[in-house]
Chains A and B, each alone.
Chain A
């Protein structure tokens, strides 16, 4: 391997990238767009769920319960309806996420010291939101019920017990203290951006030479396949690392996601991940001489596993066993785990030794294969 030839190859690629401002713009705008969309658009901590109430009783008790819903930060009672039909229509038409029905005999049952049911209708279409809403509604009703019971006990002259009930859960959240969805999504987005940009750019490098007919010229030079690979990938590696840095800056300064780890571990693991992505892109590019086909496959092989099977948004431990096993074979799983741990937990080599080693092995293997992927033959 000669440094001179390698540098010349890199220089040519750099010039090509530079002269194609659109690609360069994509490489730099893509991270910004992804970060802004995902940073602002993804939020699981729902607040202000719209509630329609059907208060059949209209008593002091039923109004008191509805007031509790109104006072909770999770609910907004926007309308009172007077029939089931109106309520059904509202839920069908997505006017509200929750319908509360307080029956005619609500106060009477409470007065008789019996249990009084409150119907809570949830639109289950969005199962995650529905599940959270259900939990919040149950908490509101339970607190109301507790207070009714205390009043009743007091009126009967019985021992009331502690203010906050017999058991109090004292929750402590670690690593993401405010349970911000942003802190959960943004670190993984770095991997998403690098997979996307890396795949889009490299998958075309060899295919382009074939399509434009410059491959023959390249083959006639004394350059070796390994030099072609390294020379071609150096510019994209530079762009990829720039993107990683850009993402880091945006996460920390713009979105104020805590960064508790070290810069060294961030950049070293990002470099390893980038080597894997670029290597895969290069191999695909060498195997498929059609630009469009190459970029389609590259996206399927890099972006899909990184967005879906890495634990980026969907927790791996909830997937069926067969898919859980597959994720262990995927490089993105390790990088996303590392990113989240570096950002939020401040983890270092001691905690992340396993995933870091896995990523390194992946990088070496892919790198080795990529060197052999390109042959200087014309067929």
Chain B
């Protein structure tokens, strides 16, 4: 049996070596994608195009405006002369944030009343808008805080140190600068591998069927399980290589830290590959042509990708969708990847993910082997 599997493996690797598309598909798309994703995928918000209309021209309003000018989150691109122009700037998408300070601003502050600041934000990109609004709020409240302190100083110098306050001490763990690359790069290791391996496995078998060599193989003494092993072992090895390639590119090129243990990552990767191979096998049992396999792959990969938590947080999905995510092997693998890359967590924390992937992989593999044996008759 071992010898037959060995011959099968030799044949598979020869085919990969001879097929230039195969090599192209294995190397080029993952590399292009990790570089592009690393640079382009970010939800961070810096240099938001901003316009400020100061109708007050008081010392206080100028002070507030200067705080926006000095902030790297905002980029003061326009200083409109009237309200109409301010509106037009937002309307024409010239700016994302428009701030208007009304004539009474300084006077109200001096009287101890609340001085309003009008902020218009373009909500087209809801995420940017949400974060930009939060930054506007932070600048305004810091300004208010400072103003109040100055005011107290002036009227009651004795109290200048004494004033109770609760302040937030920020402790961002694992990713102190909130760097998007640190979030996306570990995720890419899983997503790109999933895509490659599912396609690779399903094509490897469907091609034999499409060009008619499957029958030739089946008349040899090889047993179905040996055939499956012969097909999946190369894919498994390629999967390991791809994980290594993407992970190394990510941590060397984008300087994402790796804080956990390689062994935990290896275990997680093996368990993850089990499910991906099984899905590839399953697709191959349902398709007659490579084109069908390609398209069917998409119907699995798109949801697997969106529901994995790769880019969009699972916690804010509707309940039904959250349940479905438990069936997504990528979901668990991403937790493992982010755990070993950023958090340095080990099996003590990650065992539920490992168990889930093992169970999912075994069940899927059993189903696909059963279906595959049936599809041969």
A contact residues vs B (CB 8 Å cutoff): 22-23, 26, 29-30, 33-34, 37-38, 40-50, 65, 89, 91-94, 97, 106, 109-132, 134-139, 141-142, 144-145, 148-149, 152, 156, 158-159, 161-177, 179-181, 183-184, 196, 200, 204, 290-293, 295-296, 300, 304, 308-309, 311, 313-315, 317-320, 323, 340-341, 344-345, 351
Contact = CB atoms under 8 A, between A and B. Distances in A.
B302 A37 contact: yes
Interface stretch (B3-11, B121-129, B218-226, B364-372): B121-129
A149 B165 contact: yes
Contacts of A296: 21, 24-25, 29
Interface of B: 21, 24-25, 29, 32-33, 36-37, 39-47, 49, 64, 90-93, 109, 112-131, 133-138, 140-141, 143-144, 147-148, 151, 155-156, 159, 162-176, 178-180, 182-183, 203, 290-292, 294-295, 298-299, 302-303, 306-307, 311-313, 315-318, 321, 335, 338-339, 342-343, 345, 349
A305 B37 CA distance: 11
8 contacts: A41-B306, A116-B164, A124-B172, A125-B174, A171-B120, A293-B21, A300-B29, A304-B36
Contacts of A295: 291, 294
Q: Which 7 A-B pairs have the closest CB atoms?
A: A124-B175, A176-B123, A135-B134, A128-B43, A127-B178, A162-B114, A43-B316
Given A26-B295, A304-B32, A174 B163 contact: no
A127 B43 contact: yes
A130 B345 CA distance: 19
A132 B45 CA distance: 11
A141 B168 CA distance: 7
Given A169-B119, A318-B42, 6 more contacts: A46-B313, A125-B183, A132-B130, A145-B165, A145-B166, A166-B147
A160 to B, nearest CB: 8
A40 B325 CA distance: 13
Contacts of B41: 308, 314
Nearest to B43: A128
B352 to A, nearest CB: 8
Given A26-B295, A309-B36, A320-B39, A169 B122 contact: no
Contacts of A128: 43-44, 127, 178, 180, 183, 313
B291 A166 contact: no
A308 B342 CA distance: 24
A112 B161 CA distance: 11
Given A30-B298, A175-B123, A318 B36 contact: no
